[in-house]
Amino acid sequence: MSRRKACVIGWPIAHSRSPLIHRYWLKRLAVDGDYTAVAVEPERIAKFFIQFADSGFIGGNVTVPHKEAAFRAVDEADEVAAVLGAVNTLWLQDGRLLGSNTDVHGFLANLDGAVPGWSAEVGAAMVLGAGGAARAVIWSLLQRGFDPVVVVNRTLAKAEQLARNFGPGVRASGWDEVGTMLPLSRVLVNTTSLGMRGQPSLPLDLRRVRDDMIVNDLVYVPLETGLLERARDCGLSAVDGLGMLLHQAVPGFEKWFGQRPEVSDELRSLIVADLARDA
Ligand code: ATR
């Protein structure tokens, strides 16, 4: 069999840590394969997917801003990709291009690992932001039985659109209502860019929340955001966003290269060191 090659497709793509993650696994598992980054401008993306079967790649990841274009391009999307309207993992099967979205797996596996049993007792959940990442988080929380899932967004219309799409389990809310809704929440997830290096911080008062609240920030640059720091100061479970990035990569690797890789401490340290180089 010829050397299997997969890739990550985005624009821009230089920041992507996916090659580092997958090359680590290729080496660790002694798989004869390769994984590269491919920059594709938005104007070229539709044609790129049409020609994917002839590209020499057996599959790949898709990142910003091409996940929706990938969903439109695949011959078949699985259920989760269809719900999210976005594909982040592609593979070829009998000449057909298939797609999935592994962000839901990544989000849930990260929390399952970091706070075992976190969803055994459900209740209300709060999601900050209403972009693509929020969609995956909302769907994950609904799957685990959280009700209601309150979506808070600066642009309220986008949160309302998500509430309409996902149905009665999801409620839209403006930032002005956070103070009343947050004390009821068992889980809080930040999917906005607030708190990211170079962005404004996230102004949230965590003093009047449930003492068993779990706080998950999807931001991972910096790894320890102001939100997580405050959560830890209040004695809450605080989970950073790097684990989701690592776990979402697992199903793709398994599909392309035939072995299920492990999200180890060693891999995490490798990525943390690489992120620190950019600091
Ligand atoms: P992703 O696909 O990663 O979720 P996105 O679609 O760009 O990224 O979504 C970013 C989210 O962060 C949005 O919910 C955005 O709010 P708007 O819909 O109002 O734009 C939110 N966000 C970004 N900057 C923000 C800020 N300064 N204050 C509040 N919310 C912000």
pLDDT per position as a tens digit, 254-271: 999 999 999 999 999 999
Distance (Å) of CA 77 to CA 5, 47, 100, 147, 248: 21, 18, 6, 27, 17
Residues with CB under 6 A from ligand 1: 129-134, 153-155, 158, 191-194, 200
Atom number in ligand 1 closest to CA 133 = 4
- Express as a percent the part of the chain with pLDDT over 90: 97
Q: How much is the pLDDT for 20?
A: 98
Choosing from 16, 107, 193, 199 the residue with most ligand 1 atoms within 8 A of its CB, the one to mutate for a pocket test is 193
Q: Are 45 and 69 in contact (CB under 8 A)?
A: yes
Report residue 203 CA to chain centroid gap: 23
Q: How much is the pLDDT for 143?
A: 97
Choosing from 71, 152, 154, 199 the residue with most ligand 1 atoms within 8 A of its CB, the one to mutate for a pocket test is 154
Q: How much is the pLDDT for 1?
A: 61
Q: How much is the pLDDT for 130?
A: 98
What phi and psi values does residue 97 have, to the nearest 5 degrees? -95, 120
For residue 27, indicate whether it is catalytic.
no
Q: How much is the pLDDT for 150?
A: 98
The alpha carbons of the chain give a radius of gyration, in whole angstroms, of: 19
User: Ligand 1, atom 8: nearest CA belongs to which residue?
Assistant: 131
| Residue from 83, 86, 65 nearest 74 by CA | 86
Atom number in ligand 1 closest to CA 158 = 18
Count the neighbouring beta carbons within 10 Å of the beta carbon of residue 276. Answer: 11
Q: How much is the pLDDT for 278?
A: 79
Q: How much is the pLDDT for 102?
A: 98
Atom number in ligand 1 closest to CA 199 = 27
pLDDT digits (tens, 9 = 90+) for 142-171: 999 999 999 999 999 999 999 999 999 999
Atom number in ligand 1 closest to CA 134 = 4
Q: How much is the pLDDT for 203?
A: 86
Residue 136 CA to ligand 1 centre (angstroms): 14
Average pLDDT, 10 consecutive residues per value, the chain (279 residues): 91 96 98 98 98 96 97 98 98 96 98 97 96 97 98 97 97 94 96 96 93 97 96 97 98 98 98 90
Name the active-site residue from 5, 27, 47, 67: 67
